[in-house]
């Protein structure tokens, strides 16, 4: 299955015609697949489902046919079933997230809990098997369905959100312990998504109340929302920061994508205070965030998921400043069954522009597509999860 489109004229300098090609279908779940997540260190991808399980596949390059075009690869990618985790969750597993080390996997469930998993010590990888996984901790406190879970950039924090309108921040401690640092009750409705900044301890949340909140930690007090991003006219389903961290994309039931840009000028914490970056500190603050671009009618129905990665060109460049305009690719998907890829650029006057560079219709047949996720280790590979009980792997080339 392959689809191509001619680039539109809304901006950008890359005039390539790109195509999305299905390279693998990952089957085994017995109910809708809600999310997929690529391990950031190992060649492993995980999926979670309404069947209450997590499945993992390993992947490697094999054969001799070029599949990713511009990324310079010369071999196809082969995916093999590796393991299944029967999580013990009493209801749907809605969201999963790998720790930055790739050693732990967090699962968020409609049973209102978050579980953290680790492969059993000494159960080393043999062949394609990833062995047995054990639950090292269960994070409880939400009063209703957990909708999303995410690790911070250095793995020191976990954020979770729920239908109970709350966002919880947990600190990862030795021996599999977790401490709840903050319970944030600033949304007025169901919280659908949480996403961490790629470099700083800055958290974003999206809600059924049509808003996005951005939070930082006040070292002398508590985590707090320093700004509210408003503009969507219906539920905000998904969020993703750009790889550089200066942009944030939001996806909504109103069928639009909105890109918010950071103007790092305004201090939003007290004198002498700072926002931590990784394990250290920085004089940078959360900054001021404003709307940079609206893509109306980006899809024909609700947009459920977005994922942001470097472009293939940027992934190959040793000098990251070679193209200062390139801000990478956003993948989006939703109830219309399309998977779309958007090129994002920003000019010297900080004007954000976009271009639709690929569009795959009926990506999962007649089923809704619930999630898209770019690979962290294989530039140009994109995973999707659908109501047809499957996950699919796509390559983009031009």
Checking if the pLDDT of 355 tops 80, the result is yes
pLDDT tens digits for range 60-69: 987 544 444 4
Per-residue pLDDT band at 219 (split at 50, 70, 90): confident
On average, the pLDDT of the chain sits at: 87
Q: Between 9 and 316, whose confidence is greater?
A: 316
pLDDT tens digits for range 178-194: 999 999 999 999 999 99
E strand map for 198-325: 203-207, 212-217, 223-229, 236-241, 247-252, 257-263, 275-277, 280-282, 288-295, 303-309
Residue matched to tokens 């790109």? 18
Please state the rounded mean pLDDT for residues 248-261.
Answer: 98
Checking if the pLDDT of 7 tops 60, the result is no
> Pairing state of beta strands 53-62 and 76-86?
antiparallel
Please state the rounded mean pLDDT for residues 42-57.
Answer: 97
User: Model-level pTM greater than 0.85?
Assistant: yes
Checking if the pLDDT of 278 tops 90, the result is no
Nearest to 244 by CA among 345, 101, 356: 345
Interatomic CA distance for residues 396 and 398, integer angstroms: 7
Interatomic CA distance for residues 343 and 354, integer angstroms: 5
Contact 128, 81 (CB under 8 A): yes
Interatomic CA distance for residues 195 and 373, integer angstroms: 13
Angular region, 52: left φ>0, alpha ψ -120 to 50, beta rest: left
In this structure, what token pair is assigned to residue 166?
């709350």
Per-residue pLDDT band at 129 (split at 50, 70, 90): low
Interatomic CA distance for residues 76 and 64, integer angstroms: 7
Helix (H) or strand (E) segment spanning residue 316: helix 312-316
Contact 139, 118 (CB under 8 A): no
Interatomic CA distance for residues 293 and 297, integer angstroms: 13
Residues 6 or more apart in contact with residue 228 via CB below 8 angstroms: 211, 212, 213, 214
pLDDT tens digits for range 152-208: 999 999 999 999 999 999 999 987 789 999 999 999 999 999 999 999 999 999 999
């Amino acid at each position: 299955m392959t689809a191509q489109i001619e680039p539109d004229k809304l901006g950008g300098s890359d005039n390539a015609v790109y195509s999305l090609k299905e390279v693998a279908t990952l089957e085994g779940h017995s109910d809708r697949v809600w999310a997929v997540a690529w391990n950031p260190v190992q060649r492993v991808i995980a999926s979670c489902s309404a069947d209450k399980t997590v499945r993992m596949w390993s992947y490697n390059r094999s054969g001799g046919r070029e599949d990713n075009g511009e990324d310079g690869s010369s071999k196809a990618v082969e995916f093999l079933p590796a393991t299944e985790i029967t999580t013990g969750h009493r209801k749907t597993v809605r969201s999963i997230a790998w720790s930055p080390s790739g050693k732990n996997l967090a699962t968020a469930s409609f049973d209102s809990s978050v579980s953290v998993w680790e492969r059993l010590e000494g159960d080393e990888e043999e062949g394609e098997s990833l062995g047995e996984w054990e639950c090292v901790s269960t994070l409880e406190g939400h009063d209703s369905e957990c909708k999303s879970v995410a690790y911070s950039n250095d793995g020191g924090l976990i954020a979770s959100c729920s239908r109970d309108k709350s966002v919880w921040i947990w600190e990862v401690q030795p021996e599999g312990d977790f401490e709840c640092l903050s319970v944030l009750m600033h949304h007025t409705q169901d919280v659908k998504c949480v996403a961490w900044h790629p470099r700083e301890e800055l958290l974003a949340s999206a809600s059924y109340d049509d808003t996005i909140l951005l939070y930082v930690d006040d070292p002398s007090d508590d985590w707090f929302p320093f700004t509210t991003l408003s503009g969507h006219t219906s539920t905000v389903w998904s969020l993703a920061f750009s790889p550089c961290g200066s942009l944030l994309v939001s996806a909504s039931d109103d069928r639009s994508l909105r890109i918010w840009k950071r103007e790092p000028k305004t201090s939003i914490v007290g004198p002498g205070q700072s926002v931590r970056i990784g394990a250290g500190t920085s004089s940078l603050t959360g900054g001021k965030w404003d709307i940079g671009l609206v893509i109306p009618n980006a899809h024909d129905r609700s947009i459920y998921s977005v994922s942001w990665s470097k472009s293939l060109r940027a992934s190959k460049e040793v000098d990251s400043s070679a193209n200062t305009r390139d801000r990478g690719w956003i993948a989006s998907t939703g109830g219309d069954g399309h998977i779309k890829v958007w090129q994002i650029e920003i000019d010297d006057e900080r004007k954000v522009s976009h271009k639709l560079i690929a569009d795959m219709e009926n990506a999962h047949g007649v089923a809704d597509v619930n999630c898209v996720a770019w690979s962290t280790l294989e530039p140009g590979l994109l995973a999707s999860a659908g109501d047809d009980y499957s996950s699919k792997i796509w390559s983009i080339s031009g």
